[in-house]
Amino acid sequence: MRILHRELLLLSLFLFPVLYLWWRGIKKRKEFYELFSPEQIKKLRKGGDGGRKYLAFVYIFTIPLFALMLSRVQYGLQSEIHKFSGRDIVFVVDLSRSMDTRDVSPSRLGAVKLQLQILLGMLKGDRVGLVVFAGSGAVIMPLTTDYDLAREFITNLSTSMMKYQGTNIADALEKAWKLLDADKNAKDRSKVILLFSDGEDTTGGDPLKIARMLASRGITIITVGVGTPTGEPVPIFDEKGNLIGYKKDESGKIVVSKLNTATLRKLAEVTGGTFIQFQNGNVAGKILKSIKQIEKSTIERRVYSHYEDRFYWFGAPLFLFMMIEAFLRVKRYER
């Protein structure tokens, strides 16, 4: 047995001032009757005192019972088996400058953010995390089922967040793997990395080597190629978000960013995942279909700390004594 709110038992102390006031009232009434003759007192007491003398006994039980009920006495340790299912999904989003290219409306990154918001509305029971990358990767949100928090992080994504430019997919995949591997109690959950990138200008280590390692650990990569094969110039914005020009190479020519699908396809194939060509439309639906093809884990967890509320043990007699008190008060005023 346990008492959930022990501090509320202090309400029982109200019994003492109530009994004092009751006793003081009886004493004052006795002093008042001493001013009259027996015949006058008999007339004053016509109809009786309505059981006033029994009110103290009612208070003795009513107030402690009320305190016990509010304190939530619990008894009976119950064991239950809770079943829950879900996957751990890490969104890996490319934030290199080329993601500002507008060959996908409103931009590559803008389209990714929109589809991720739609995807979050479709997920249920899955934990999601967020890794961003350009010249290097960074974890900006750990695994959580708080989709509102995830939406807030996704809304604030910007290419200006990344200090070092490039497209270091290998480092991003490694950061995603460490995030998935951080929870040692979730080994039985299906693990998915959802990679959004234009696949261009890959720098850093070999992403295929990392993908093979992930595959050996049962982690699936779904890649989404963002952009078009023809591409468009990479825009440059000022601090206020105004277009001020386009990126140029060392010879002064405008850089045209094009979708490179070769690496993205191989990453998905190595881990048994899927490559999705990003086009304006229901990309989130295609992603969800690919995710559902991955086996959904079911975990059983036995819980031993579940107590049953027993406040009604005190609620029933409390109600009875309150009815008795009400009856005594009604009887008192019947003249």
CATH of the domain at 255: 3.40.50.410
Which pLDDT score, from 0 to 100, does residue 49 have? 55
- Give me the DSSP letters along 105-117: SS-HHHHHHHHHH
Judge whether 77 lies within some domain: no
Judge whether 147 lies within some domain: yes
Same domain, 99 and 12: no
The residue range of the domain holding 38 is 2-72+311-332
Same domain, 159 and 190: yes
330 pLDDT exceeds 70? no
Which pLDDT score, from 0 to 100, does residue 2 have? 64
Same domain, 281 and 229: yes
Compute the average pLDDT of residues 12-24: 73
pLDDT, tens digit, 9 for 90 and up, residues 185-227: 667 788 999 999 998 867 888 999 999 999 999 999 999 999 9
Q: What is the mean pLDDT of the chain?
A: 81
Judge whether 248 lies within some domain: yes
Q: How many domains does the chain have?
A: 2
Do residues 81 and 300 touch, judged by C-beta distance below 8 A? yes
Judge whether 208 lies within some domain: yes
Which pLDDT score, from 0 to 100, does residue 333 have? 47
304 pLDDT exceeds 70? no
Judge whether 305 lies within some domain: no
> 0.85 cut: is pTM over it?
no
Which pLDDT score, from 0 to 100, does residue 179 have? 94
Question: How far is residue 274's CA from residue 294's CA, in Å, rounded to a whole number?
Answer: 10
Compute the average pLDDT of residues 69-76: 68
In this structure, what token pair is assigned to residue 36? 């009259």
In this structure, what token pair is assigned to residue 161? 């967040």
Same domain, 172 and 140: yes
Which pLDDT score, from 0 to 100, does residue 99 have? 93
User: Residue 67: phi, psi to the nearest 5?
Assistant: -65, -40
Give the residue carrying structure tokens 């001493």: 34
Q: Is the dihedral of CA 75, 81, 84, 90 positive or negative?
A: positive
Which pLDDT score, from 0 to 100, does residue 83 have? 59
Judge whether 197 lies within some domain: yes
Same domain, 6 and 105: no
Do residues 140 and 150 touch, judged by C-beta distance below 8 A? no
Which pLDDT score, from 0 to 100, does residue 65 have? 72
The residue among 193 and 20 whose pLDDT is bigger is: 193
Which pLDDT score, from 0 to 100, does residue 335 have? 46
